[in-house]
Amino acid sequence: MSQRITRRDVLKASASLAAASALPRFAFAQSAGTFRIGTLCPITGAGSPYGSGMQKAIEIGVAEVNGAGGAGGRKLELFNEDGQTKPDAAVLAAKKLIEVNKVQAIFGTWSSGVTLAVMPLTDAAGIIEMNCSGAPAISTLDTKDLVWRFQATNDRFGAAFAVIAEKRGWKRPATMAFNNASGIGNAEGFKKAWEKKGGRVVASVVYEPNRPSYRTELQQILAAKPDVIVTGSYVPDSTIILREWYQSGQDVKWILPGWAANPDLVKALGNEVVEGLISVDSVSNENAASYKALDAAYQKATGKPVSTNVYASMCYDMVMCIALAMEAAGPNATVAQVNAKIREVANPDGTQVYSFSEGKKLLSEKKKINYEGASSKLDFDQYGDVTPDFGVFVIEKGQLVRHDVVAI
Amino acid sequence: MTLVDLCNLLINGTIEGLLIALPALALTLVMGVARFPNAATGDYMTVAAYAGIGVQAWGAASIFLAGLGAIAAGAAISIIFYLWVFRALRGRAPVASLVASIGVAFFARSMLTLFVGHDQQTFNLPLVRAWNFGGVRLLPTDLYVAALALIAMALLFALLHLTPIGRQMRAIADNPDLARACGIRSGRVLLSLWAVVGALCALGGMMFGVKAVVSPELGWELLIPAFAAMILGGIGSPIGAVVGAVLLGIASELSVPFVGPSYKIAVAFLLLLLVLLLRPRGLFGKAILSR
């Protein structure tokens, strides 16, 4: 993933910081009887292309809930901080949110590193953490069941890669993984799913970051004559690997995660090298009414369709989930009581609802509900993880063109 | 492992080694003459590589012009920091300059990211297929990189051994007090030294950028391998730095079939450890008595 800080970003960041420091002063006066939510979206850093939109989506959700009279007799109150896509900065901001603003939930952490760094704090404070991160470790480290993940795990990305490779009839896959939790998670997830289908991975390699060349690693992989190479990688290493592969002249197909195979990669390599490369990213629940409602509000707020930011719909769903859980838990419920209701309002075996007011009405009639989110159908497993659908994008003439959507 | 694989690994190792050789040379020169490990070496590379990108972004498509721009920028930043920081610290313990150089490294990198951001950049070069000699693949780009590195080294050695300023540098490296007593004006010599160091870093950064990608951490990440190469070759010995770098490169690549790519860096350092156990002054180093 790449990051760029323009002067405008710096201005935006300092403006939001100024706003955040100005907020609590008048906020404290009315904070009795509200449910306080802190946001740690990646306004700056590697996540900056997404961060502002994520925060905007949370604000849209909060406005919707408060407009419908609040949840469980309480209004939602927001405290925004910038996670900076940096674990150290995010930890400082999380401490401030927890200790000064006394928030009851933290939303919108994006990079796995940030989520893993913030989790111990939220766990210790006994508050809810909702994130868009992929690292498999988040599932197992969440011992108190307070952490909810709205993005697919790297494991599931790997499984999606396997479905795609099978659909296209490839028989001899190989994997290349960047040596960290996310990269290896992708490759291992693929291997697991592929072997379950009865296939065999012909070669696999885990490589180190920051090397001037990956020819030796590539040579090992290509020697096994794979028909497709599946990666868990980022933009810089993918740039070097794909360039060296192209120069080697051996014919093979590629499947990369969406955060590696993006327009930056196309820009770095040129159209010819990346032609036909498959980029896989989770996609929103595009046919749901919840998505359409969010899309309209998001366009009004930012001028862009919400399809430009897959994480924005996840963040919107965070607000919906917590609000419906508050409604289900009833007035003056504690954080733990609200947390315990999240699966109940989002998972199947209830009437499907697509908005907060719809769900609130049914809950008041003592009916069971199943919130269908804008980001996915939002069915949390025992780890608090969801399984979104995956979009298969093929790079054609330098453009990422979506071919189909796969479910795992 | 077949002979073809072996040849490919040897080629990769040599090229990677030659890339590391340039910053290792810059380190060892500073170590020999100015007598401190310059932790800012890597960031001089980064700044110079971005200068090269800048030249291309301003419309000069020629990679040659980009290289000249990078070298000018590398020499300039190196001289600026010498005049600004390291000159004032001359005569103090080396650790003062070392700590200062770490500060210089952070400063240079932070200033850079403030203006260019964290996005990766690439040099605008047409991609060419590798020449294939029965499975042994040779990239034309790699050949240019190797040739350039060798030419730069030849020029450096000519400078050190055939010119008066080079002789003065070596005199200061051998014995600064005696050099001063002989009337060598160290100010001028050090200025040229830092210019050469900057140019070497620039060339290294530029070639790394051509081969891989240019990012703000480019040079900083190369610092440890360059240090290792310098120590392996013998601190202060230019030829040692080059030999050390190439040896480390080849050793790490050749180990891949046996230990896998995750541990190849460890193997390179194991080699370093062994050499230092048997020959503590490094391959080409001189035994120095501490006074």
Per-residue three-class SS string for A149-203: ECCCCHHHHHHHHHHHHHHCCCCCEEEEEECCHHHHHHHHHHHHHHHHCCCCCCE
* DSSP E strand boundaries for chain B: 131-133, 136-138
CA-to-CA distance for B38 and B44, rounded, in angstroms?
10
How confident is the model at residue B291, as a pLDDT?
41
Round to whole Å and give the CA distance between A73 and B14.
70
- Per CB-CB distance under 8 Å, the chain B contacts of A49 are none
Q: Are A158 and A191 in contact (CB under 8 A)?
A: yes
Which chain A residues have a beta carbon less than 8 Å from that of B19? 212
Is residue A58 a contact partner of residue A107, using CB atoms and an 8 Å limit?
yes
pLDDT at A290 over 70: yes
Q: pLDDT > 90: what percent of chain B?
A: 63
Q: How far apart are CA A252 and CA A87, in angstroms?
A: 37
Q: Are B119 and A3 a contacting pair at CB < 8 A? A: yes
Kindly determine whether residue A212 and residue B16, on different chains, have CB atoms separated by under 8 Å. yes
- Mean pLDDT value of segment A386-395: 93
Whether B203 contacts B66, CB under 8 Å: no
Q: A86 pLDDT band (50/70/90 cuts)?
A: confident
What residues of A are in contact with residue B260 (Cβ under 8 Å)?
205-206
Pairing mode, strands A75-82 and A34-41: parallel
| Band of pLDDT at residue A11, cut at 50, 70 and 90 | low
Closest residue in B to A46 (Cα–Cα): B118
Q: How confident is the model at residue B265 (pLDDT cuts 50, 70, 90)?
A: confident
d(CA A219, CA A205): 11
Contact A208 B215 (CB under 8 A): no
The DSSP 8-state label assigned to residue A384 in this structure reads S
- pLDDT, position A47: 80
Mean confidence (pLDDT) of chain A? 89
Contact between residue A246 and residue A277 where contact means Cβ atoms under 8 Å apart:
no
Asked if B139's CB is within 8 angstroms of A236's CB, the reply is no
DSSP letters along B249-262, please?
Answer: HHHHHHHHHHH-GG
- Measured distance between the N- and C-terminal CA atoms of chain B, rounded to whole angstroms: 51
What pLDDT sits at residue B290?
A: 46
Whether A209 shows a pLDDT value over 90: the answer reads no
pLDDT > 80? residue A9: no
B113 contact residues in A (CB cutoff 8 A): 5
Q: What pLDDT score was predicted for residue A10?
A: 52
Please name the member of A5, A208, A236 whose beta carbon is closest to the beta carbon of B117: A5
Question: Would the pLDDT of A46 be above 90?
Answer: no
Q: Is A212 in contact with B211 (Cβ distance < 8 A)?
A: yes
Q: Which of A247, A250, A275 to mutate to test the interface with B (most CBs of B within 10 A)?
A: A247
CB contact under 8 A, B119 and A264: yes
Residue in A closest to B254 by C-alpha: A216
Q: What residues of A are in the B interface, CB distance below 8 Å?
A: 2-6, 45-46, 179, 205-208, 210-213, 215-217, 219-220, 223, 235-236, 239-240, 243-244, 246-249, 264, 268-270, 272-273
Which of B15, B118, B211 has the CB atom closest to A5's CB atom?
A: B118
Q: Do A215 and B129 touch (CB under 8 A)?
A: no
Q: Is the pLDDT of residue A30 over 70?
A: no
User: Which of A1, A6, A211, A216 is best to mutate for the B interface (most B CBs within 10 A)?
Assistant: A216
User: Mean pLDDT, to the nearest integer, of A200-204?
Assistant: 96
**CB–CB contact B261 A207 (8 Å):** yes
pTM value? 0.81
pLDDT tier at A108, thresholds 50, 70, 90: very high
* B256 to A264: CB separation less than 8 angstroms, yes or no: no
Per-residue pLDDT for A362 more than 70? yes
Query: Are the C-beta atoms of residues B55 and B276 closer than 8 Å to each other?
Result: no
Q: How confident is the model at residue A26 (pLDDT cuts 50, 70, 90)?
A: very low
Chain center to CA of B111: 22
Interface contact flag, B211 A213, Cβ < 8 Å: yes
Whether B117 sits inside 8 A of A239 (CB atoms) is no
User: Which residues from B are below 8 Å from A when comparing CB atoms?
Assistant: 5, 8-9, 12, 15-16, 19, 113-114, 117-120, 122, 127-130, 132, 137, 139, 141, 208, 211-213, 215, 217, 221, 253, 256-257, 260-262, 264-265
Residue type, A46: A
Q: Does residue A98 surpass a pLDDT of 50?
A: yes
Half-sphere CA count of A388, side-chain side, radius 13 A: 29
Minimal-distance CA residue of chain A relative to B115: A6
A268: nearest CB among B128, B213, B217: B213
**CB contact at 8 A, A37 and A71:** no
CB contact under 8 A, B213 and A216: no
Specify the CATH number of the domain B3-278.
1.10.3470
Q: Give Cα separations from A293 to A54, A319, A377, B282 (angstroms).
A: 16, 14, 15, 69
* CB-CB contact of A381 with A342 (8 Å): no
ipTM, two decimals: 0.88
SS3 of A246, please?
Answer: helix
User: Does pLDDT of A31 surpass 70?
Assistant: no
* B129 interaction partners in chain A (CB closer than 8 Å): 246-249
pLDDT, position A106: 97
| Residues from chain B contacting residue A270 (CB–CB below 8 Å) | 127
Shortest Cα distance, chain A CAs vs residue B171, angstroms: 36
User: Mean pLDDT across chain B, nearest whole number?
Assistant: 91
Report DSSP state, residue A381.
-
Task: Give the residue range(s) of CATH 3.40.50.2300 domains in chain A.
Answer: 7-152+286-371, 154-282+388-406
Give the per-residue pLDDT at A27. 39
Query: Environment class of residue B194 by beta-carbon count within 10 Å: exposed (0-12), middle (13-18) or buried (19+)?
Result: buried
Section B155-168 average pLDDT: 94
pLDDT of residue B129: 87
Compute the distance between CA of residue A399 and CA of residue A380 in angstroms, rounded to an integer. Answer: 34
Give pLDDT, residue A210: 81
Confidence band of B71 (pLDDT split at 50, 70, 90) = very high
8 Å CB contact of A179 and B262? yes
Rounded Cα distance between A336 and A251, Å, is: 55
Chain A residues close to B139, C-beta within 8 Å: 244, 247
pLDDT band at B62 (very low <50, low <70, confident <90, very high): confident
Strand pairing of B131-133 and A351-353? unpaired
Q: How far is CA A159 from CA A281, A344, A393, B53, in A?
A: 12, 27, 16, 39
Helix B63-81 to helix B186-211 angle (10° resolution) is 140
Calpha distance B224→A150 (Å, rounded): 39
Between residues A140 and B119, the one the model is more confident about:
A140
Which positions ≥6 away from A203 have C-beta within 8 Å? A174, A175, A220, A221, A223, A224, A226
Q: How many Cα atoms sit within 13 Å of B227 on the Cβ side?
A: 14
Mean pLDDT (whole number) for B153-169: 94
Please give the helix or strand (H or E) that residue A293 lies within, else none.
helix A289-302
Query: How many beta-carbon contacts under 8 Å exist across A and B?
Result: 98
Residue A223 with chain B: CB contacts under 8 Å: 5
CB < 8 Å to B213, chain A: 236, 239-240, 268
CA B26 → CA A123, B107, B242, distances in Å? 49, 19, 11
Mean pLDDT on A162-188:
93
Task: Note whether A40 and A114 are within 8 A (CB).
Answer: yes
CA distances from B39 to A279, A339, B89, B90, B195 (A): 39, 50, 15, 16, 16
The answer to whether B19 and B149 have CB atoms below 8 angstroms apart is: yes
User: Across the interface, which of A210, A219, A249 has its CB nearest the CB of B217?
Assistant: A210
Bridge-partner residues for A405, per DSSP? A391
The answer to whether the CB atoms of B215 and A236 lie below 8 A apart is yes
The answer to whether A146 and A122 are in contact (CB under 8 A) is yes
Interface contact B117-A4, CB threshold 8 A: yes
Quote helix, strand, coil % in chain B, to nearest 5.
Answer: 75, 5, 25
- Residue B288: which pLDDT band, with cuts at 50, 70 and 90? low
Asked if the Cβ–Cβ distance from A216 to B137 is below 8 Å, we say: no
Q: Say if the Cβ atoms of B8 and A206 lie within 8 Å.
A: no
Q: What is the mean pLDDT of residues A98-118?
A: 94
CA dihedral sign of residues A354, A357, A358, A362: positive
The pLDDT value recorded for residue A91 is: 96
Per-residue pLDDT, A253 = 96
Assign domain A7-152+286-371 one CATH number from 2.60.40.1220, 3.20.20.150, 3.40.50.720, 3.40.50.2300. Answer: 3.40.50.2300
B264 CB-contact burial (10 Å; exposed 0-12 / middle 13-18 / buried 19+)? buried
- Rounded to whole angstroms, how far apart are CA atoms A110 and A94? 14
Ranges A42-46, A143-147, A194-198, A396-400: which has the least confidence? A42-46
Percent of chain B with pLDDT over 70: 98
pLDDT of A29 > 50? The answer is no
Which CATH number applies to A154-282+388-406? 3.40.50.2300
pLDDT one-digit tens code per residue, B165-192: 999 999 988 888 899 899 998 889 999 9
Q: How confident is the model at residue B112 (pLDDT cuts 50, 70, 90)?
A: very high
